[in-house]
Amino acid sequence: MGCDGGTIPKRHELVKGPKKVEKVDKDAELVAQWNYCTLSQEILRRPIVACELGRLYNKDAVIEFLLDKSAEKALGKAASHIRSIKNVTELRLSDNPAWEGDKGNTKGDKHDDLQRARFICPVVGLEMNGRHRFCFLRCCGCVFSERALKEIKAEVCHTCGAAFQEDDIIVLNGTKEDVELLKRRMEERRLRAKLEKKSKKPKTAECVSKAGVTDDSAGPSKVKAGRPEEAEPDPKEKKSTLASRGTAASGGAGKAGKAPCAALKRSIADSEESETYKSIFTSHSSAKRSKEESAHWVTHTSYCF
């Protein structure tokens, strides 16, 4: 069985030992992490965003993932912690002036220098190729090397001047320990936001209930004060109300007696005013007409002679 034709098998062909662990090429791994999108595996192009765990994505790939979260996508597990576009931050990257890209590669025979990177640190000038640790600020999205943050200690961003805290610093493509720390911070941050949202709901409900109670208590006074300012009623209703008020007033005066009305009615002739003042009124003697000046029975008009 086998070994026909004088073949001599060697030991490693007959004895199966333990499989060797395949080692991943470091350069290839760094290129995949820093030059390609974690979700779509396409070359990174602006706008570039980063999640709370420090992974790099194309913004359009994240939007497509949020719109279509199908189970068929195996790479969806890498972005399972992204629930909305608010969970990612758009990065402000500084271009590397020494980066040429594919400008001189017309024939396809140009050597790709893996040490060159498209972006650099704006403070120190280190290239963002994976050889140096880089981080970004969650509050503004500016990207710096970790060396720049350690050497120039400040509480504001070196580029835009925005204030930040220790919790806002997120390491890009960090180690397993860094990812675990960032994951813990992310969960604490989301839990804190959830509790704050729940605590705000009862406060708003109490404010609404208090406002309702004050409106009910102040209701009658507002109605009474607002009656004169209400819209005018119809003319028919206005006439009816005026008539009812007039009848009520006349009835009340009749019940009280005619003495007040008689007291109000007094002749101007009995007053102590001057004759000139009295001559204005029709009750004065000068205003009275004689029989000759009285009206004719045909005209029925007292002022027609």
pLDDT, one tens digit per residue, over 122-132 is 999 999 988 89
Assign 261 a pLDDT band (cuts: 50, 70, 90): very low
Q: Is residue 283 part of a domain?
A: no
Task: Tell me what pLDDT residue 2 has.
Answer: 57
Tokens of 277: 């003042």
Q: CA–CA separation, 9 vs 44, rounded Å?
A: 50
Band (24; pLDDT cuts 50, 70, 90): confident
Q: What is the mean pLDDT of residues 9-19?
A: 79
- Predicted pLDDT of residue 220: 45
Could you tell me if residue 259 is inside a domain? no
The stretch 247-273 carries a mean pLDDT of: 53
Q: Residue 227 has what pLDDT?
A: 45
Residue 40, in any domain of the structure: yes
Write out the residue range of the structural domain in which residue 54 sits.
26-99+115-200
The CA-CA-CA angle for residues 68, 70, 71, to 5°, reads 160
Q: Is residue 241 in a domain?
A: no
Q: Does 253 reside within a domain?
A: no
- Please count the structural domains in the chain: 1
CATH (domain of 66): 3.30.40.10
pLDDT in tens, 70-87: 645 556 677 888 989 999
Is 229 part of a structural domain of the chain? Answer: no
66-80, 88-102, 191-205: segment of lowest average pLDDT: 66-80
Q: How confident is the model at residue 30 (pLDDT cuts 50, 70, 90)?
A: confident
Query: Which pLDDT does position 222 carry in this prediction?
Result: 44
| 52 close to 184: Cβ distance less than 8 angstroms | no
pLDDT at position 258 is: 45
For 37-46, 144-153, 231-240, 280-289, which range has the lowest pLDDT when averaged over its residues? 231-240
Out of 117-121, 204-208, 240-244, which region has the weakest mean confidence (pLDDT)?
240-244
Please give the structure tokens belonging to residue 97: 């002036």
Identify the burial level of 238 via C-beta atoms within 10 angstroms of its C-beta, where 0-12 means exposed, 13-18 middle and 19 or more buried: exposed
Tell me the pLDDT tens digit for each residue of 34-72: 999 998 889 999 999 999 999 999 999 999 988 887 645
Average pLDDT over residues 227-251: 50
Instruction: Look at 58 and 112; give whichever has higher pLDDT.
Output: 58
The pLDDT confidence band at residue 231, using thresholds 50, 70 and 90, is: very low
| Per-chain mean pLDDT for the chain | 75
DSSP string, 218-265: THHHHHHHHSTTSPP--HHHHHHHHHHHHHHHHHHHHHH-SHHHHHH-
